[in-house]
Amino acid sequence: MTNSSNPVILGLGSNRGDSKSILRQAVADLGALLEELRCSPIYISKPRYVLDQPNFFNCAVAGNFSGTPMQLLASVQAIEAKYGRDRSKERSKGERTLDIDILIMGSLVVSEPPVLLIPHPMLHERKFAILPLLNLEPEAQDPRTGDYYWKIYENLESQGIYYADFDDYNQR
C-alpha cells in the first residue's frame, strides 16, 4: 500500500453524551487529519440491530488522506478514544460517545479481517451511513461491485432517518 493521498469518506455517529457537540468537535479534529475536509449535515436516526438505546446523530466527512488504510484506522480510533470510546466496555452495536467508520477510501478494497474492511462491510444496508455519504459524493460507487450508492439507498426500506436542523451547526 502506498502513502499517496486517497479520497476518503468517514461516517460518524454518536448517541451517548452531548452528541451534537461531540460530532462538531470530532469533525474539527478530522480537519487536522484530512485535507480539503467537507462535512454533511447531521441526521438523527433510529438505532439498528440493538433497539433499546437512544437515537443516533450521524454525519459524514470527506477529504483526502495521505497514508495507508491502517494509519487512517489508527488515527480515527485515537479520535474515538479522545471522546471516551472504549470498545472493551461497550456492547456491540450499542451506545457510544463516538463511532467513526471508514466507509470508502477511493477505489480501494481492503480485506484485513477482523481489523479492517473497506468499503465498510455493512454500508450497503445502512441508510444512516449512505445518506450523509451521498450528500458529499452523489455519484459514489461501491468499489467492489460498481453499484451506485444512490441506487442502493433507494432500494433499502425506510429506517427512520431525519434531518437534524441545528441552527448553530455549520456545514463545511
DSSP for 103-144, please give it.
Answer: EEETT--EEETTTEEES-TTGGG-HHHHHHHHHH-TT-B-TT
Average pLDDT over residues 131-154: 96
Q: Residue 70 — φ and ψ, nearest 5°?
A: -65, -35
d(C-alpha 170, C-alpha 172), whole Å:
6
pLDDT in the model for residue 166: 53
Residue 165 pLDDT class (50, 70, 90 cuts): low
Residue in this structure with the C-alpha cell 429506517, named with its chain if needed? 159
CB 136 within 8 A of CB 150: no
> What's the whole-model pTM score?
0.91
Residue ranges covered by each domain of the chain: 5-163
Average pLDDT, the chain: 90
Average pLDDT over residues 48-66: 94
Q: Is the pLDDT of residue 104 over 90?
A: yes
CATH class of the domain at 5-163 = alpha beta
Reported as a single tens digit per residue, the pLDDT across 14-49 is 999 999 999 999 999 999 999 999 999 999 999 988
CB 38 within 8 A of CB 172: yes
